[in-house]
Amino acid sequence: MWPLQRRIQVQEIDPDEIFLDSSNLPRLDEAQFEGRVEFPVTHMALMGVGLVFGLGAIVFLGRAFDLQILNGSEYADISRDNRLERSIIFAERGIMHDRRGVPVAWNEAPVDDSHITVATTSAYVATTTPFAFRTYIASPGFSHLVGFVRYPKQDTSGAWWREDHVGVSGLELLLDGELHGQNGSQMIETDARGNLQREHIVIPARKGQDVTISIDADVQAKLYELLSAHAANNNFQGGASVIMDVKTGELLALTSFPEYDHAAFSAGDTDAIRRANLDKRVPLLNRAVAGLYTPGSIVKPILAAGALQEKLIDPEKEILSTGQLVVPNPYDASDPTIYRDWKAHGYVDMRRAIAVSSDVYFYTIGGGFGDQKGLGIALIDTYARAFGLGAATGIPLIGEAAGVIPTPEWKKEIFGEHDPWRLGDTYITAIGQFGFQITPIQAVRYTAAIANGGNLVTPKVVMGGKVESSSVGISDDKLGIIREGMRAAVSSDAESRTARALDMPGFAISGKTGTAEVGERNQFMNSWSIGYWPSDNPRFAFATVLERAPAGTLSGAAPGMRPFFEWLAANKPEYVSAN
């Protein structure tokens, strides 16, 4: 038998026995705690940590209960009232100067030095930036050219829904990108009671660029003043006038009347806006670029240039004007068609025909008669377009009209197929009547092309920059004959010269006039005067139209321009000379 089994006692092995030989391990680094025995975390330590976190959770939940449940509405009101608000720092709009540096449009603070008010949720906070108002030159004649702006706007809650000064028309619109600048902003801190605590500028405002336009403010104002007074005295409803540098296209003046109050439009004056919209004279229309007028005889130089270019007639050849052109009726010899001249001129060559504005001469070279071949309507259209008629000039102002050159296609569209194009339509078109319509800016542009030797320049309203032009395709020697005729219209000894009102001592002007009958019964007339100066070395061209006076009115556009040219010679000699 085996001896009594002994109780086996189990004793845990101590850690140091397990790692008894650890000191014999190679490269043992005791400084890095190699070989050290890690003891387990005690239950008391775990309970302590849990207790700390539990107490923190109780405090957090209690505070959240107080903020959201017990006092939630009160603290919500405080959080809404005590906040940061963005405030606009309004940029100052750029100043617009005329060519001599005279301000035409600038900025002024309100007279009461009030401050802009910015709305918060429950209060209004005044910023330190004054609201700049746009101010315009007080002289007349600038409304259509300069235009107006709209100011920053608030909604009923006081929030700014339009933050900029916005150009609406004229140069304010055209140059808005340069003038408007860049708004800045600041942060306004208020307490729960709406009291201002502090302001911090975040983004500074950047002023708009100043711009120099090509207009001379004195010339612009005086042209408007004298011409509109002459129009009123002679019962013209309105008018326009443009003066342009024949080489660069820079406009010295561009005026239209009647005009509206552009400062009142900027201010939002509802009475002024309503009056302008209801005025039958249409003061909101910029007649210089958007007014369409039958040109009458001012298109005759174009036909003369076309006839020379096509070699249809020698400029020395004379055509008899008995006061009418009689076209035989092939079906009834007793009933010819008669196209009347405004006067019997006798024999006239091209220069004299321009000077006295012989309708018979231009009927003949326009539509042909007898053995004299005419341009025909297709070539009339071609040369009218070569001189820029029937298309926008490219002047960078909103609303420019293109105009109309009558053609068979145009007549068919307007009157239908039952009324085809006839020779008589060509005759009437050749003297600038029928459906012909042009703008004053087109008229001054083609006049400049005659004056400068055949370059059709694009009108500009800002100083400097690139000159844009195209050729009319007619040589300067041929255009020289046209210029001689236009000079004779002013200075020759012929009693019937049409622009003799512009014959002034010491001021050599070349010109051409035109009268167009308008109205259902031809009971009204428009009067034109175009030209350039100095005659021997042209610098400036002009085109003026006076609108809708009673038929037979004797004092038209040319007499209306004379007081202006007298003023120009006396007060602005730098524009009169050839240098």
Region of 268 (left: φ > 0; alpha: ψ -120 to 50; beta: rest) is left
Let me know if residue 125 belongs to a domain: yes
The alpha carbon of 124 is separated from its chain's Cα centroid by a whole number of angstroms, namely: 38
Q: Highest-confidence range of 25-34, 185-194, 409-418, by mean pLDDT?
A: 409-418
**What tokens were used for 220?**
């612009």
Q: Among 175, 192, 212, where does a domain finish?
A: 212
Q: How confident is the model at residue 126 (pLDDT cuts 50, 70, 90)?
A: very low
Asked if residue 249 and residue 182 are part of one domain, the reply reads: no
**Residue 181 in domain:** yes
pLDDT of residue 34: 59
Distances, alpha carbon 132 to alpha carbons 112, 154, 553, in Å: 12, 15, 48
pLDDT for 79 beyond 70: no
Query: Is residue 463 exposed (0-12), middle (13-18) or buried (19+ Cβ within 10 Å)?
Result: middle
- The SS3 call for residue 117 is strand
Same domain (yes/no): 237, 378 = yes
Q: Which amino acid type is present at position 180? A: H
323 and 365 co-located in one domain: yes
Residue with more model confidence, 51 or 297:
297
pLDDT band at 527 (very low <50, low <70, confident <90, very high): very high
pLDDT band for position 129 (cuts 50, 70, 90) = very low
CATH number at residue 455: 3.40.710.10
The CA dihedral of 316, 319, 320, 326, to the nearest 10 degrees, is -170
Has residue 26 been placed in a domain? no
Residue 310 DSSP symbol: T
Same domain (yes/no): 399, 522 = yes
| Residue 108 belongs to domain with CATH number | 3.90.1310.10
Distance CA 223, CA 240 (A): 10
Tens digit of each residue's pLDDT (9 = 90 or more) over 413-472: 999 888 999 999 999 999 999 999 999 999 999 999 999 999 999 999 999 889 999 999
**Residue 451 belongs to some domain of the structure:** yes
pLDDT band at residue 1 using 50, 70 and 90 as cut-offs: very low
Query: Averaged over 349-366, what is the pLDDT?
Result: 96
Q: What is the pLDDT of residue 9?
A: 57
- Sign of the torsion formed by the C-alpha atoms of 250, 256, 261 and 265: negative
* Mean pLDDT of the region 7-36: 56
Predicted confidence at residue 499, as pLDDT, reads 86
Per-residue pLDDT reduced to its tens digit, 315-343: 999 999 999 999 988 888 788 899 999 89
Residues 6+ apart with CB under 8 A from 251: 214, 215, 242, 243, 244, 245, 459, 460, 461
What 3 state SS string does 437-467 have?
EECHHHHHHHHHHHHHCCEEECCECECCCCC
558 and 420 within one domain: yes
**Cβ–Cβ contacts within 10 Å for residue 5, how many?**
6
Regarding whether 249 and 176 lie in a shared domain, the answer is no
pLDDT in tens, 254-278: 999 999 999 999 888 899 999 999 9
Helix (H, G, I), strand (E, B) or coil at 325: strand
Give the per-residue SS3 of 464-491. CCCCCEEECCCCHHHHHHHHHHHHHHHH
Buried-state track 413-446, b at ≥16 Cβ within 10 A, e below 16: eeeeeeeebebebbbbbbbbbbbbbbbbbbbbbb
pLDDT in tens, 549-576: 999 898 999 999 999 999 999 999 999 9
Contacts (Cβ under 8 Å, ≥6 apart) of 569: 504, 506, 507, 576
Which residues lie below 8 Å from residue 167, measured CB to CB, with a gap of 6+?
A: 147, 149, 173, 174, 175, 176, 179, 180
Is 188 found in the same domain as 250? no
Strands (E), 11-113: 84-89, 96-97, 103-108
> Residue 238: pLDDT above 70?
yes
Tell me the pLDDT of the chain averaged across its residues.
Answer: 86
Phi and psi (nearest 5°) for 252? -85, -30
Strand partners, 527: 515, 546
529 and 558 Cβ atoms separated by less than 8 Å:
yes
Same domain, 513 and 551: yes
In this predicted structure, the answer to whether residue 291 has a pLDDT above a threshold of 50 is: yes
Q: Give the model's pLDDT for residue 125.
A: 41
CB atoms within 10 A of CB 409: 10
Written as six digits, the tokens of 431 are 């003297």
Return the pLDDT at 13: 57
**pLDDT surpassing 90 at residue 165:** no
pLDDT class for 115, splitting at 50, 70, 90? very low
Quote the domain boundaries for residue 199.
83-212
Query: According to the model, what pLDDT value does residue 24 have?
Result: 52
Whether 17 has a pLDDT exceeding 70, the answer reads no
Share of the chain above pLDDT 90, in %: 63
Answer yes or no: do 147 and 228 share one domain: no
Mean pLDDT of the 171-176 span = 95
Q: In DSSP terms, which residues pair with 460 in a beta bridge?
A: 250
Is the pLDDT at 63 greater than 50? The verdict is yes
Task: Pick 520 or 16 by higher pLDDT.
Answer: 520
Domain boundary among 212, 238, 272: 212
pTM for this structure?
0.81
Q: Is the per-residue pLDDT at 375 higher than 50? A: yes
Which residue did the predictor score with more confidence, 122 or 5? 5
Which residue among 154, 184, 212 closes a domain? 212
Task: Count how many domains the chain has.
Answer: 2
The residue with greater pLDDT, 16 or 374, is 374
- Specify if 365 maps to a domain: yes
Identity of residue 314:
D
The verdict on 175 and 303 lying in the same domain is no
Stretch (H or E) spanning 243: strand 238-245
Model confidence over 202-236: pLDDT tens digits? Answer: 788 889 999 999 999 999 999 999 999 999 999 99
CA 328/CA 331 separation, integer angstroms: 9
What is the Cα–Cα distance from 285 to 188, expressed in whole angstroms?
46
Q: Is residue 41 part of a domain?
A: no
Question: Is 537 contained in some domain?
Answer: yes
Residue 55 lies in a domain: no
203 and 256 part of one domain: no
Q: Are residues 184 and 269 in the same domain?
A: no
Contact present, 545 and 239 (Cβ < 8 Å): yes
Distance between CA atoms of residues 264 and 63, nearest Å: 60
